[in-house]
Chain A
């Protein structure tokens, strides 16, 4: 175990019933770095991401072996409170999934469930989070309007603001731009650049150019195994493994 790493996954195996979706994955994350997880569909990258905030707990018949250690605490320890873990590890999903509430209430939701009652504090945090997510200027005059009236890209930034409001330390992003058009995607990518000053970000993406643009490190998954992890520049220019090279040059996947 190394204090240097914010998050350490060691020998993680993951099962959906009898199907082994992750095989012996070990991966370390440094604080305030962006790690991209790439690989073909079904390679286990999203499954791995969802192990980090224990979102897979919701699926019955799943099992995790190995350990994932966050700030020197094993998050699969029985005494861990999943609710606290999820406050520390925020998540942005593939499809924008705002609540059918107002823009303001969407961002305030996480604060309210975490016991913050002070109205001024909530208003301040909501504004701060919306500014952080580069959405505030677009919505400041209609915070009371339904979030469902926003465009897809705005909704996704709202979901990012919502995750940031809880002040997590790690931000998990599961293909956050895959449902968005190129302009909205660019905004999300710019946002990731801003956010990495304060957060450790782990992003799953199908888009290799995106991985190359936003991440410091990239991990390539294939068939449930971690094939290769390296600095993004190195991985994309001088991959060590033949599978990585074939994937990034588009020969399969």
Chain B
């Protein structure tokens, strides 16, 4: 009997190990593929020209593969959408976790989470059909599909991420800390600002960075509404071509194994490095400021 039990345990352990190995192997193979498909580009284009070249003319003769304008496009949409989404997401989170009545929170929380499940193509479609004409009329700009429109739509995509993760962090601040603050004669607002937020800052930062990493990696929204012009924008109403949009738009058109093909993989690699950096910063912050929480003895 005992022998059987041991064998079963061992079999189960090996099964889990096997499954883990399979997932990790596939992921590493994808990464390896990304690297091997990018490398050939650098036989003809220097890394410096690739990263800092202003001109992206992949189909011209001779072709130019400078992705600076794509990187800047990606960074701008990410930054502008964050500037919109962070205050909105964070304040909603504070409202839900600290201010709203239980009933109110019960109604609003699922709605926020439902927003997170909106397919990005729906958001893109909305930006294209509703926001774009609105921008053209309101601001009298020639193109409604531009940096601002894409940032706005991305912001609404990442608000649920920021809100829902921050809300969890704020909600997990021990009641004992809030009581301690209130018992000293602090108002509810002072307690939120000086105790609750500092105590949940690591979770909030993680939420913000994961939201940003979602924004920089998002493809469909920027493909549909960023405008698609590979240029360095001078106004927020200029069209841009963020990295994912460029890859998605061009991959189907390019001959397999050509220079352009490798350049798109290299763009994907750059994008991967960006999202990896975001995630590493998130992990670092959540480690550094890990909530120590209630005093332990």
Contact = CB atoms under 8 A, between A and B. Distances in A.
B113 interface: no
A162 interface: yes
Nearest to B193: A113
B172 interface: no
9 contacts: A83-B185, A90-B183, A95-B176, A97-B294, A98-B180, A100-B198, A113-B186, A152-B295, A155-B295
A9 interface: no
Interface residues of B, number: 27
A45 interface: no
A109 B177 CA distance: 12
A114 interface: yes
Nearest to B180: A97
Given A55-B179, A93-B176, A159-B180, A113 B185 contact: yes
B96 to A, nearest CB: 16
B286 interface: no
A109 B184 contact: yes
A217 interface: no
Contacts of A97: 174, 176-177, 179-180, 294-295
Contacts of A152: 295-297
Contacts of B194: 109, 112-113
A83 B190 CA distance: 11
The size bracket of the interface on A is 35 or more
A74 B81 CA distance: 52
Contact of A114 (B176, B185, B198): B185
Interface of A: 53, 55, 58, 60, 83-84, 86-87, 90-91, 93, 95-101, 109-110, 112-114, 146-148, 151-152, 155, 159, 162-163, 166, 179-180
Contacts of B179: 55, 58, 91, 93, 97
Nearest to A89: B183
A95 B176 CA distance: 8
Given A91-B183, A93-B180, A99-B180, A148 B295 contact: yes
B182 interface: yes
B292 A100 contact: yes
Contacts of A100: 177, 198-199, 291-293
Contact of A101 (B102, B186, B187, B198): B198
B30 to A, nearest CB: 40
A165 to B, nearest CB: 8
Given A97-B295, A114-B185, 11 more contacts: A60-B102, A86-B185, A91-B183, A93-B179, A95-B295, A100-B177, A100-B198, A109-B194, A110-B185, A146-B292, A162-B184
Given A93-B180, A97-B177, A113-B190, A166 B185 contact: yes
A69 B226 CA distance: 65
Contacts of B180: 93, 97-99, 159, 162
